[in-house]
Structure 1
Amino acid sequence: MAGLFQQVLPELSDQQATEAASMTIVLVGALWTHTHPAPAVRAVCTADPSLAFLLPSFTATLERSLTLFPAGLLFDSDR
């Protein structure tokens, strides 16, 4: 997966690409759990429109995260 990140962003160092791959694995697990809550939680969020932000789209959120995080690594002065 790190190699794929470097194909898309060749400016990433090996360490940055590995970090992006590792964070992606964590992010997928966390987002999947967050976007697929228990039925009771989904019912409450559906019943109260002000809570809609608690049920983001898995695909859209993952796509945005995978756009922003690796690009942000390019500006990380510690790497």
Structure 2
Amino acid sequence: MAKRFYFDLTDGHTTFLDTEGVLAADINEAVIEALEALREIRSGSELDDLEGSWKLVIRDEKGSARKTFSVW
């Protein structure tokens, strides 16, 4: 049964919450989706004006952080 996972962006002070999320069979599949999202973020210019150390946080349906990846 698929579960919903959310990919938030944070620098520790500001957080952009993912309100849509993705459906994935498990955390491993969510990680694959997150890595694809990171690839898109890194190749685009969405974060060019933001300073600091940004991270992508995978949250589960309960709101618990499951994995964290550096954006840069």
Select the structure of larger CA radius of gyration.
1
Question: Is the structural similarity TM-score above 0.5?
Answer: no
- Higher share of residues assigned helix: 1
Normalised by the length of structure 2, the TM-score is 0.37
- Higher share of residues assigned strand: 2
